[in-house]
Structure 1
Amino acid sequence: MSLTYEERRHTILIQLATQGKVQVQVLADLFQVSTETIRRDLDRLEKEGELRKVYGGAVRVRSGMTEAPFQKRAQLQLNEKQAIGVAAASLIEDGETVMLDNGTTTLEIMRQLRHRSQVTVITNSVPILTCALEEFAGKIIFAGGEVTPVIQASTGPIAHELLSQFKVNKAFISAGGVSLTDGITDYVLEEALISRKMMERAEEAILVADHTKFGRSTFAQIAPINQISMVITDSGCPTEWVEALHQMEIEMVHSV
């Protein structure tokens, strides 16, 4: 029995949400319909604003490959990021050392740690460092290096060398996008490499990402998804992603 357009549409959108792209021939084989039927489906979905057609298939509509300034991003999904920050901070035990990469969600973790005098935080983020200097009761270590106003974080060989000197309990990693095919990605290569280094130097790597990051791919890969042990997100995370991470045996924590 052939599927209706609405049924095909549902499956196509799920694939876009998890993989970021679909292919005409693969969909035609899956639904057992002609490639012309799939192309018409993609035409309709493009008019609905759900995707953008490319050669051989379609990709998810992106918000662009250029990241907004840090201060502007800090206001986006703020409630979700604050809740994720609370959930992440609750996993940090007294006596632990953690790494926080440069992100607006990891900044919310730092804010939740302000009274934790028995915690050590290592970061390359200037906003996180500034926050810690204002109110953090624990120890802060800044992984110094080249700092640019646009990135607001240290990057480059000096930062990598300093991070290599440490072995920590947990690394909390933010992301520009999370895709089953492209993994955990960021907009800036230099920042992606720092996040990757933090994951290498931690006993446990934890991804902190609000629901808007799932199904999105940005410029530079941080790591494949299977290299993290836990994802902390908000209740808006798509159901298909909850199922996908469960199948990959990656623990998932939903913030409240």
Structure 2
Amino acid sequence: MARPSGRTARIKALRKLCSSGAIVHIADAAKQLETSEITIRRDLSDSDSGILCLGGYLMFASDNGERYSLSHAQGTNTQAKTEAALQAATLIAPEDTIFIDCGSTLPHLAARVPQNANVTVVTQALNIAEIIARLEGVNLVLLAGMYHAESGSFSSETALKMLKEINITKGFFSAAGVHEKEGVTCFHFHEVAVKRAAIARSQRRFLVADPSKWGKLRPATFAQLNEFDDWIGRPA
């Protein structure tokens, strides 16, 4: 690519690189534009370009800057989320103690937890707890604390202490973004500590994320892909 002259030309070139939702590392962009990373960062900070630099990656702000809404997410990609949940549900066995993460995908799993099989469900998510509480013969451990309406989940130091005392046989984790290099991400930093603690306490760990999440990068990284035993719902 010929070196674009001037801020306006560079912004135009960056927008072209990020077209169709592409995520581009700033070093690669600098090489293609024959300029420096510092220049690109300055261009983006001094203008309303619509391009966001997050964790060293460039993307359209509309792809990563929106506020997460649990109520809205519950109505999107329902079929793909259900299919991923159905696959995950086959992994639950009698006597299991499982962690079910927050979000809009895993309620489809919660509804399929086998009843009267002495399964214990640990969760920090209100929507998961509400489903589990209606199932017969399923034990519920709610990791309570400060409630965050935007994610429908709780967080607290007490929740982290509770997790240290629970032996989780299988953990099922959701994500708002799955990126090959930057890892598994979510929108909210308050989710990270509980997710990390649950990962540490789980004997087996499963990422449950429908294909729309792959290739996305969200603000808070909570895991790397190699920390999971399987990735359920990934694109074919």
TM above 0.5: yes
Aligned to 2:155: 155
8 Å CA contact 2:64–2:217 kept in 1: the answer is: no
1:97-143 residue CA offsets vs partner (Å, 9 max, x unmatched): 10011111111110111535331111111000011112353111111
1:182-212 residue CA offsets vs partner (Å, 9 max, x unmatched): 1101100111221111100001111000111
Name the SS of the counterpart of 2:111 in structure 1: helix
Number of matched pairs? 200
8 Å CA contact 2:68–2:151 kept in 1: the answer is: no
8 Å CA contact 1:114–1:132 kept in 2: the answer is: no
- Provide the C-alpha distance between the structure 2 equivalents of 1:188 and 1:57, rounded to a whole number of angstroms: 18
Q: Would the alpha carbon gap of residues 198 and 65 (structure 1) be closer, same or farther in structure 2, given more than 3 Å must change? A: farther
Aligned to 2:139: 139
8 Å CA contact 2:143–2:154 kept in 1: the answer is: yes
Aligned residue identity for 2:24 = K
Aligned residue identity for 1:202 = S
Aligned to 2:38: none
Deviation for aligned residue 1:61: 6.5
Aligned to 1:201: 201
Deviation for aligned residue 1:84: 0.9
Q: Does 1:97 align with 2:97?
A: yes
8 Å CA contact 1:204–1:229 kept in 2: the answer is: yes
- Provide the C-alpha distance between the structure 1 equivalents of 2:148 and 2:51, rounded to a whole number of angstroms: 34
- Provide the C-alpha distance between the structure 2 equivalents of 1:123 and 1:68, rounded to a whole number of angstroms: 20
Structure 1 counterpart of 2:24, from 8, 21, 26: 21
- Superposed, which structure 2 residues align to 1:1-256 within 5 Å? 20-22=23-25, 23-24=28-29, 35=34, 58-59=58-59, 62-113=62-113, 115=115, 117-233=117-233, 237=235
- Provide the C-alpha distance between the structure 1 equivalents of 2:206 and 2:30, rounded to a whole number of angstroms: 36
Deviation for aligned residue 1:66: 3.8
Deviation for aligned residue 1:21: 1.8
Q: Would the alpha carbon gap of residues 58 and 137 (structure 1) be closer, same or farther in structure 2, given more than 3 Å must change? A: same
Aligned residue identity for 2:215 = G
Deviation for aligned residue 1:52: 5.0
8 Å CA contact 1:98–1:122 kept in 2: the answer is: yes
- Provide the C-alpha distance between the structure 2 equivalents of 1:161 and 1:136, rounded to a whole number of angstroms: 27
Aligned residue identity for 1:83 = E
8 Å CA contact 1:113–1:136 kept in 2: the answer is: no
8 Å CA contact 1:21–1:60 kept in 2: the answer is: no
Name the SS of the counterpart of 1:112 in structure 2: coil
- Provide the C-alpha distance between the structure 2 equivalents of 1:177 and 1:53, rounded to a whole number of angstroms: 16
Q: Would the alpha carbon gap of residues 146 and 61 (structure 1) be closer, same or farther in structure 2, given more than 3 Å must change? A: closer
- Provide the C-alpha distance between the structure 2 equivalents of 1:109 and 1:57, rounded to a whole number of angstroms: 33
- Provide the C-alpha distance between the structure 2 equivalents of 1:53 and 1:214, rounded to a whole number of angstroms: 18
Q: Identity over aligned residues, as a percent?
A: 20
Q: Pairwise CA RMSD of aligned residues? A: 2.6
Deviation for aligned residue 1:93: 1.1
Q: Which runs of 5+ in 2 are unaligned?
A: 1-16, 36-49
Q: Would the alpha carbon gap of residues 79 and 176 (structure 1) be closer, same or farther in structure 2, given more than 3 Å must change? A: same
Q: Which runs of 5+ in 1 are unaligned?
A: 1-11, 29-33, 37-50, 240-256
